[in-house]
């Protein structure tokens, strides 16, 4: 993912601002992959991800003149894409989770509930197709605000500073939300992997 990040800063801002279509096409070529991936992680729906992808580049094309260059071009694109994703989530949302509940999830320090050491599971088991699907679904269970921070930091590999610029949040808020998100995911993964461990234990006992 760092390769794309490095490459995007090679674009000529001058050309882009002047409306150079070939240069913009190159920007899309390099950056469509990460924007699409962000959409999939944020909304878990290929059609929504495609909408986010198109809207992001339409807005980027329209507002390039306003881009002040204070953040990097890639952070700016991430900012547009994440805003699009959060707006679409708000539009799509028919989940029963109330605003208060969501605030609780964002602000409260979640006490670890499940204490099971599943670190000893074989790596093959932890990275199986089924485990990956479960991990993906776990991200979808985060509140949109936590999900946005987690996706930018731990999936897209942005720094705390870049994430704070992309989301217009303080760096300390980014850290707090990342911590909540990771703890929540730890909890969800523990539920899943401790079951896998139990299943494996049963299988091993059966082998004797």
Segment contacting another protein (CB under 8 A): 88-96, 152-160, 161-169, 195-203?
Answer: 152-160
Q: What angle do CA 99, 34, 166 make, to 5 degrees?
A: 50
Positions in 52-71 near another protein (CB under 8 A): 53-54, 57-58, 61
Nearer to another protein, 96 or 112 (CB): 112
Among 81, 142, 169, 185, binds another protein (CB under 8 A): 185
**Which of these, 20, 18, 19, 24, lies nearest to 8 by C-alpha position?**
24
End-to-end CA, the chain: 45
| Residue 73 in contact with another protein, rule: CB under 8 A | no
Tokens found for residue 126: 């932890």
Measured distance CA(75)–CA(14) in Å, rounded: 18
Instruction: Give the number of other CB atoms < 10 A from CB of residue 78.
Output: 28
Task: Report residue 158 CA to chain centroid gap.
Answer: 10
> What tokens appear for 61 in the block?
């094309």
Q: Report if residue 88 touches another protein, rule: CB under 8 A.
A: no
C-alpha atoms less than 13 angstroms from C-alpha of 118 in its C-beta half-sphere:
21
Q: Cβ closer to another protein: 93 or 107?
A: 107
Binding residues for another protein restricted to 109-148, rule: CB under 8 A: 109, 111-112, 115-119, 126-127, 131-132, 135
The binding site for another protein (CB under 8 A) comprises: 1, 4, 21-22, 24-26, 28-29, 32-34, 36-37, 46, 50, 53-54, 57-58, 61, 109, 111-112, 115-119, 126-127, 131-132, 135, 154-155, 157, 175-176, 178-179, 182-183, 185-186, 189-190
């Amino acid at each position: 993912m760092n390769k794309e990040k490095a490459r995007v800063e090679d674009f000529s801002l001058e050309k882009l601002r002047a409306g150079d279509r070939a240069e913009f096409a190159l920007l899309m070529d390099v950056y469509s992959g990460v924007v699409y991936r962000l959409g999939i992680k944020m909304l878990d729906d290929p059609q929504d991800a495609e909408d986010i992808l198109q809207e992001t580049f339409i807005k980027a094309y329209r507002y390039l003149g306003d881009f002040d260059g204070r953040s990097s071009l890639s952070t700016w694109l991430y900012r547009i894409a994440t805003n699009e994703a959060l707006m679409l989530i708000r539009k799509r949302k028919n989940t029963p989770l109330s605003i208060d509940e969501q605030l609780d999830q964002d602000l409260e320090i979640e006490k670890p509930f499940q204490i099971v050491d599943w670190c000893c599971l074989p790596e093959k088991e932890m990275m199986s197709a089924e485990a990956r699907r479960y991990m993906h679904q776990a991200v979808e269970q985060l509140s949109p605000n936590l999900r946005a921070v987690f996706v930018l930091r731990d999936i897209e590999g942005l720094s705390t500073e870049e994430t704070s610029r992309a989301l217009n949040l303080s760096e300390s808020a980014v850290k707090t939300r990342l911590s909540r998100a990771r703890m929540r995911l730890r909890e969800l993964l523990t539920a899943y992997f401790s079951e896998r461990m139990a299943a494996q234990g049963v299988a091993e006992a059966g082998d004797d």
